[in-house]
């Protein structure tokens, strides 16, 4: 069971679902060095907890995350700023490497580093009130040049990064940054339903599927098929896949859906 309270991050767990909360509401959850360190500590603990099948990433207060902490960064030298950015990269990558399914729940503004945190999750569910922005160029820095084009395409990434314009959840969904958009009063129920659906699946099967997807898109088709075959072998050896398959057939029959081998 994972329950953790750090300076800027809180982790709670209910059943097989853990919630990682960015907890600097007075600063709109701006990501400072301490939050980066807290994210590294929290993800390390979550990644080793087999009782956690799904991780939700949320922001406390009215914002998801306002990006990097400008007040903190103003006091840094160029060398210190480079180290600070590398620390941020490590924190985002730690979220990305979590073996569980990770869902970003964006209910308000998500700017700069907040978009990076959301993009490091497996997918994003957003409120219709959510706003997104990549202000790095306007802040005189370089950032978000790797995850964004993989999600939205290079041309759209260039537009969003060069202009730093604010866009809403509907557009974020249209260009692939967000999976689903819900009215504010419906977001929590939708998140809970999806999290429970994923948590009910074989946890190792979900982890292996995630590994195949993440590693497969970075290699050749032949290499990706080899990765999947190895995952299939591990899944067959380490899970009760026959029981899961039988349960799936029974569930389909209960809902009136045809099952494999049935006659229509």
Active site amino acids: 116, 136
The single-letter DSSP state of residue 135 is -
Q: Assign 19 to helix, strand or coil.
A: strand
Q: Are strands 131-133 and 167-168 parallel, antiparallel or unpaired?
A: antiparallel
Max CA separation in the chain (angstroms):
72
Residues 6+ apart with CB under 8 A from 194: 103, 125
The neighbouring-strand residues paired with 4 are 11
Distance (Å) of CA 263 to CA 114, 252, 258, 259, 260? 51, 14, 8, 9, 9
Which uninterrupted H or E stretch holds 221? Answer: helix 221-238
Distance from C-alpha of 119 to C-alpha of 148, rounded to nearest angstrom: 8
Is residue 86 a contact partner of residue 118, using CB atoms and an 8 Å limit? no
Of residues 143, 184, 146, the one with CA closest to residue 162: 143
Other Cβ atoms closer than 10 A to 261 = 6
């Amino acid at each position: 069971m994972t329950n953790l309270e750090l300076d800027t991050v809180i982790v709670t767990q209910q059943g097989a679902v853990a919630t990682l909360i960015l907890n600097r509401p007075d600063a709109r959850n701006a990501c400072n060095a301490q939050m980066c360190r807290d994210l590294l500590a929290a993800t390390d603990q979550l990644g080793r907890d087999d009782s956690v099948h799904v991780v939700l990433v949320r922001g406390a207060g009215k914002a998801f995350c306002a990006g990097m902490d400008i007040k903190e960064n103003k006091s840094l030298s160029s060398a210190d700023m480079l180290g600070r950015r590398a620390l941020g990269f490590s924190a985002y990558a730690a979220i990305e490497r979590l073996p569980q399914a990770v869902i970003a729940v964006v209910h308000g503004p998500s700017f700069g580093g907040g978009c990076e945190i959301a993009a490091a999750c497996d997918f994003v569910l957003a409120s219709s009130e959510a706003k997104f922005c990549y202000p790095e160029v306007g802040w005189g820095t370089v950032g978000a040049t790797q995850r964004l084009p993989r999600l939205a395409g290079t041309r759209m990434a260039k537009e969003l990064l060069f202009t730093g314009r604010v866009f809403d959840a509907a557009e974020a969904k249209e260009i692939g940054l967000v999976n689903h958009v819900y009215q504010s009063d419906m977001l929590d129920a939708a998140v809970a339903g999806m999290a429970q659906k994923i948590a009910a699946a074989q946890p190792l099967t979900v982890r292996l599927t995630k590994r195949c997807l993440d590693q497969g898109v970075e290699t050749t088709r032949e290499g990706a098929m080899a990765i999947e075959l190895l995952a299939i072998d591990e899944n067959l050896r380490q899970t009760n896949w026959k029981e899961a398959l039988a349960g799936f057939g029974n569930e389909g029959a209960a809902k009136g859906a045809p099952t494999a081998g049935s006659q229509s």
